[in-house]
Structure 1
């Protein structure tokens, strides 16, 4: 490393098919895609880092920070491959986690199945105690009833324990004492307190979140510890940070204590990248489109900020059906995720319809064209058959493709049942996956009172630039931005994320009886907790704070998020907070309800390192495109036939270069298809911008 230069920064994102690595050193960015190694994910991470560091010409001593996002926690929940877990509950509430919401999320399916709880009934263990909703003791904790649980925990080989006592969000004393007693008897037991991981009202969600955290904690702790050890052994002495689902990064210790916050960490990095690009390009309304090997993720971004939430469902039994999964109350960037990636498997159902996903070929065996043993056709096989992918240059040449295997798989599984040629079978697969994504985007936008046709699209991920133009045609988007390094977009997004942590507290308060002193006490405690986490990684870096409250009209069942002033509150602030609530409520529902009191149920505080706003891209005079590097036969959806199109290398395109569609822009980790409906140009930042031609 040159004397006086800043240390390099490394980001790694593990996906279901590929592991993406980005190395940033000064103004230089080097990216690599390698196949994920499911049986030992750290091997794929180390392989990817080694390849990227070699490309950058750097050594481990040159690296100042490594940021990592992983799907391991999500996969453990979906595949039910976590630890043997028990749940300690208040006597009389053993079945709350199984009763759930006591509703039917699918009313017309007489065979409807609920997701099974992570903890079976024989390991849901009651203890005698009781608090009221203000945290006052009604029945003292019976410590003998806690000690009596030890033989049961030993008998069933319990590795992890969640403690979810009634109203512990208001007073965690009983949960803390249960933890102390069981830790003394079983020092190797992993213990999660619901009052720590989810100190909010609503018993079912709180217990579900605590159980999920406990369930994945031994798996995640083992993986993260092994990865940290492998990095140290290889010479990386820099800190290892983890990307969280809410869009911030945190320390290894915090990630091991709260691994449930790593769910959706990869997609969160992608949303951070899209927000950064939107600000750079002066785009106020954006839809981010992240399509990788296993899934596609769509997120709405307004004024440079992605939509966020504190509720999330994982491992849904029914595809896209709200209520059919395990609820988690964690900070999360809100997006819709569907099983539509390059590895999504295509088939023909009993009604002679082409279906795509959610099952994926993953990295083992992978799509048929990988020639690694896969025989089922995938979206990637369709893209190869349609001329969108150069088989010789896929993933920088690290994955060799056999187009004949793709055509054979498509002909057998899709073409033969529908009497279609392999080409038309591939086109059918492509159209179905694009329509699936378009429909998911439409529904996601409508549910939030948003529209898509006024937005620009930011496309990234290995497969997104292949499908972005066609998806934009379907949903009415007129501009598509494909950033530099789009194939590893989520990893690059990690490099743009702040070190941050969010704290939440449930504390009931009506605005008509607003207590500024109590509110300030709550917020001060939350600030201290968040600062203790953030300072571990941020040191003395400046921080920024965001405060919100979850509020509703008295008697309503659900809350909306309202911003709070960033200062000490005073009694007169009740009116200001009420005005903010009215504005947020009107934005969602188009009206307010007169003469109704408003109540605060929960408070949130997010503290993070300050992130400078990116500079706006300047206009660049148009330049003629360079000579194409070659030509390729590309299937054109408008004519249902192949057309001969030019192929341009992304690295050969200078800012200002203009390309008329149809065309192909190839780079090491992905390929951008410019359809006949679009023209493209390269902006001052080197981003490829596709603009819809006037009708």
Structure 2
């Protein structure tokens, strides 16, 4: 019988992670290969070839493939998108320039607004108009559209965003505009607002559509290029990981690029939630420290916290995403001393190439990985399981400039820089927990990504967290998360009405329409009825207010229980704002549906707990390591992670060297390998950070 495999590939800033799952034996194979920034598809293909060689399999044995990438995110952050034109309703072409009155820094009179992404000369006002209820007020002037498309073509612009007033209620004019664009300029990329962000608020909907158009040509070209190389390799075309924790087809991802912005990090959150469920842990904080940045998210009662609007580079993007905080502190984050003598870490990174100085690629800037190496926390001869040797001398040389700028010793500089990075990451945890009304002491910290196990317990001590979980294959956990994610499509519509019994038929009708669309799409993707799941929620506000609160509808509410919905709304409102006047009328704003196609569940390999004491062959030579729990160097025992067996307990201080990561167990901490291969670290109380 032929053994089938599931494949996942996650392209990060420094490394491309590859995970292969043997469905019959429930075994994981994983590896890393350097990312290729100039053409990320090369890193993907190299990683696939490498994992197939490790597992000794053929391409046709891979029957399921999911891909996550930060390609669109990096293009956006680095201002490497395409030139865009905007077609909008006449009189509204400056909406994306004006934005909103509210400012991120209320009292900063000199703060700069983000650029509009579309030059004013390429914002075109088309004569057409819809009423708020979707009724046509003025028909589309097709000659306007044809004239503007010709101007776009003459100026060599290959991407157009179309955002007409109230198109979320009637997309007729946007659809006809797309037809005309394709007639006049077939090779042009088109982004329609009713498809990208089908809800009200003109500025947010328009800027989200513009960002999609800005990223679409290069992202779609990347997907097309990857697809061609996969065909040559005889590997099937993958699903793409979405920012909301679900997956979609590559064809849909090519059109709706905005939904891939948190593609990679979302996979880590999904995987952590999956493992936490297996361990019986409901409340966790995920801590994903990679080469360039650290992503932090919160899962409460088994569900990731999500947001319907996020900000990236100060642009409000209306797309469902797992709620995360990101800080520029990763293994490749550069450490420096500013003119005032203060230590600074990030957000600048050494990137995939040349990487930290110790990578030996000629990089002269010192990064967090270099500082950990200089403090003895990383074995230079066992990086990536010995596949890559680190250059200690290069790290020492790169630190020389910092020594010349200060009167501190080399060790003091290294310690200070790591502490600054730890503080930045702890602040990110506070943003998703304390700032949202959650006590981090009531959560377990799940640490993954190549660098996080070096810093996890220091972060936990600072926040009062008593337990840290380092998942099996932690450095490639995001890729593993792709394999356990379900197909997920989000649908939205806007219709402002009062939440009362008289409007109940209209509310039911809105959801029925969304459910029909969701079922059709899932059926089109081959999801059988038994694996389809529809989840409804509704955006509510008190009449006259400007912001909404999302309330989920319980599955048993087939008839929609208004009393239950109101009760939940009051509860959520009071938690958010501290006070709730329940006598005020409630208004319905948006109707939301998540259409989920359940994928086959992955069964994790597990072992019987054998013994408490680690076997002798798991012990390496002791080494001198700086411990942040006692702020001094100490000689500690070192263990091979791959030679430990289920049930082994290791009392700190100790180091556990894995093929893909290094785990620090500090003083008054105890680590245990559980039956799934996860390292569970229990922290002693009363430790200083």
Q: TM-score, normalised by structure 1?
A: 0.94
Give me the whole-angstrom Cα distance separating, in 1, the residues matched to 2:520 and 2:399: 55
**Does the residue aligned with 1:224 lie in a helix, a strand or coil?**
helix
Assess, with a 3 A threshold, how the Cα gap between structure 1 residues 432 and 514 changes in structure 2: closer, same or farther.
farther
Q: Which moved further from structure 2: 656-665 or 604-613? A: 604-613
Tell me the equivalent position of 1:304.
302
Residue pair 1:250, 1:534 contacting (<8 A) in 2 also? no
Q: Answer whether contact 2:607 2:646 (CA < 8 A) is retained.
A: no
What does 1:106-121 align with in structure 2 at a 5 Å threshold? 106-121=105-120
Contact 2:295 2:325 in 1 (8 A): yes
Partner of 1:35: 34
Aligned to 1:470: 458
Of 25-34 and 540-549, the range deviating more from structure 2: 540-549
Query: Are 1:449 and 2:446 counterparts?
Result: no
Matched, 1:400 2:397: no
Which of residues 565, 568, 574 is equivalent to 1:586? 574
Q: Distance in 2 between matches of 1:218 and 1:246?
A: 22
State the distance in 1 between where 2:540 and 2:678 align. 41
**What SS does the aligned partner of 2:217 have?**
helix
Partner-residue secondary structure (3-state), 1:104: coil
Following superposition, the deviation at residue 568 of structure 1 comes to 7.6
Q: Distance in 1 between matches of 2:642 and 2:604?
A: 23
Q: Which moved more, 1:215-224 or 1:390-399?
A: 390-399
Aligned to 1:486: 474
Q: Give the aligned partner of residue 598 of structure 1.
A: 586
Cα deviation for residue 228 of structure 1 reads: 1.2
Is the contact made by 2:267 and 2:480 (CA closer than 8 Å) also made in structure 1? yes
2:8 matched residue in structure 1: 11
Extract structure 1 runs of 4+ deviating beyond 6 A.
Answer: 613-619
Is the Cα–Cα contact under 8 Å of residues 547 and 605 in structure 1 kept in the other structure? yes
Give the C-alpha shift of residue 212 in structure 1: 1.1
Confirm or deny that 1:438 pairs with 2:438.
no
* Deviation of 1:276 (Å): 0.9
Aligned partner of 2:290 in structure 1 is 292
**Distance of 2:578 and 2:108 partners within structure 1:** 34
In structure 2, the residue matched to 1:546 is 535
Q: Between 339-348 and 612-621, report the one with greater CA deviation.
A: 612-621
After TM superposition, give the deviation of residue 296 of structure 1 in Å: 0.2
SS of aligned partner of 1:625: coil
Q: How many residues align?
A: 680
Secondary structure at the counterpart of residue 515 of structure 1: helix
Contact 1:31/1:485, CA 8 A, preserved across alignment: yes
Query: Does residue 340 in structure 1 map to residue 329 in structure 2?
Result: yes
Q: Judge conservation of contact 2:294–2:329 (CA < 8 Å) in 1.
A: yes
Aligned-partner Cα distance in 1 for 2:327–2:637:
32
**Residue of structure 1 in register with 2:653 after alignment:** 662
- Matched-pair contact (CA < 8 Å) for 2:629–2:666: no
Shift, 1:632, TM fit: 1.7
- Partners of 1:489 and 1:603 in 2: how far apart? 33
1-structure distance, mates of 2:607, 2:684 = 22
Deviation at 1:535, TM superposition (A): 3.5
* Distance of 1:162 and 1:388 partners within structure 2: 50
Matched with 1:319 is: none
Matched, 1:409 2:398: yes
Aligned to 2:195: 196
Q: Secondary structure at the match of 2:447?
A: strand
Where 1:595 maps in the other structure, the secondary structure is coil
- Displacement of 1:481 after TM fit? 0.3
Map residues 524-535 of structure 1 onto 2, 5 A cutoff: 524-535=512-523
Counterpart selection for 1:249 from 247, 250, 261 = 247
Select which of 243, 252, 257 maps to 1:259.
257
Cα gap change, 1:514/1:372 in structure 2, threshold over 3 Å: closer, same or farther? Answer: farther
- Equivalent position of 1:688 in the other structure: 679
The residue number in structure 1 matching 2:176 is 177
**Tell me, what secondary structure is at the counterpart of 1:624?**
coil
Aligned with 2:506 (options 513, 518, 525): 518
Q: CA deviation at 1:365?
A: 1.2
SS in 2 for 1:119: coil
Aligned partner of 1:419 among 399, 402, 407? 407
**Aligned equivalents of 1:339 and 1:533: distance in 2?**
38
C-alpha distance in 2, partners of 1:617/1:333?
A: 29
Partner residue, 1:321: none
Displacement after TM superposition at 1:613 (Å): 9.9
Describe the SS at the equivalent of 1:630: coil
Whether the 8 Å contact between 2:27 and 2:605 is mirrored in structure 1 is no
Q: What is the alpha-carbon distance in structure 2 between the residues aligned to residue 537 and residue 140 of structure 1?
A: 35
Identify the residue that residue 365 of structure 1 maps to in structure 2: 354
Distance 1:254 1:532, change over 3 A: farther
- The 1:529–1:398 alpha-carbon spacing in structure 2 relative to 1, beyond 3 Å, is farther
Contact 1:538–1:609 (8 Å) recurs in 2: no
CA distance in structure 1 between the aligned counterparts of 2:301 and 2:561, rounded to whole angstroms: 26
Q: Is contact 2:230–2:237 with CA below 8 Å preserved after alignment?
A: no
> What's the offset of the Cα at 1:110?
4.0
The counterpart of 1:672, out of the listed 659, 663, 672, is 663
Q: Tell me how far 1:396 sits from its aligned partner.
A: 3.3
1:526-567 deviation digits (Å, cap 9, x = unpaired): 223333433444432612221111111111221111012436
Correspondence for 1:322: none
1:46-73 CA deviation, whole Å, 9 max, x = no partner? 1111111211121111101111000111
CA RMSD in angstroms, aligned pairs only: 2.0
Measured against aligned partners, the alpha-carbon deviations of 1:32-53 in whole angstroms (never above 9, x if no partner) come to: 1111100010011111111112
Q: Find the residue that maps to 1:453 and give its secondary structure.
A: helix
Greater shift after overlay, 616-625 or 169-178?
616-625
Q: 1:504 aligns with which of 454, 471, 492?
A: 492
Say whether the 8 Å CA contact 2:611–2:645 is kept in structure 1: no
CA distance in 1 between counterparts of 2:490 and 2:603 reads 24
Name the SS for the 2:442 alignment partner.
coil
Distance in 1 of aligned mates of 2:189 and 2:565: 41
* 2:561 counterpart residue number: 573
Q: Tell me, what secondary structure is at the counterpart of 2:265?
A: helix
Contact 2:293 2:330 (C-alpha < 8 Å) held by counterparts: yes
Encode CA deviations 1:618-654: one digit per residue, 9 max, x unaligned. 9957611223122221112244332111111111111
